[in-house]
Amino acid sequence: MIEEIKKYDPDFTENGFKTFIDNVFIQIHLAIMTKDIKKIKHFVSDEIYKKIEDKVKYLNQNHLIQMYDEINVKETRILSSEITEDKINIKVNIISRYMDYFLDEDGNFKSGNNTSRIMRDNYITFTKKLNAKDLGNVKKCQNCGASLEINASGLCPYCRSTFDLERGGYIITSLEVM
């Protein structure tokens, strides 16, 4: 499976990819907790972003804060890959552990589990266009050309435009939590 991916993405490494997806997974949960989801927009498809945006709207309308305390990734496995004529799809399973609960806006516990971590299976599909530009190690803003640290926020610190990872990297196109 990895060798097949490398035919189309020569810089692909299993460990590098797992590190990337673990980081993205944690950043998405932190963005929901802080209700600052713009910083993860470049990691997800428009459809997934809309689902996350709807979740944050629900939290705001109900004056709630979603908490994912002591979140960590226990295990990450690449389950399958599919190469189509225009993209690479990689399905992964992330086993995560965290306390999952809600607070009101004053920080008072409302519901959920805030005493012990629960384990969850997360099935995520990452997709990369085959004709995507090679981003190399140093990412550049597609608007002004400044060097970027993509894992930090996805926003250019100079022109504030959002980095479009879909043009050159893997984005989440499917997300299922069991």
Domain count, the chain: 1
CATH number of residue 77's parent domain = 3.10.450.240
Q: Classify the C-alpha dihedral 158-56-71-124 as positive or negative.
A: negative
CA distance 45 to 88: 14
Each residue's pLDDT, cut to its tens digit, for the chain (178 residues) gives 899 999 999 989 999 999 999 999 999 999 999 999 998 999 999 999 999 999 999 999 999 999 999 999 999 999 999 999 999 999 999 999 999 999 999 999 999 999 999 999 999 999 999 875 544 444 556 556 566 554 454 556 666 555 444 445 899 999 999 8
Residue 88 has φ and ψ, to the nearest 5°, of -110, 130
Q: What is the residue whose two structure tokens read 């097949």?
A: 4
Q: Tell me the longest C-alpha to C-alpha distance in the chain.
A: 53
Whole-model pTM: value is: 0.81
For 138, the domain range is 2-177
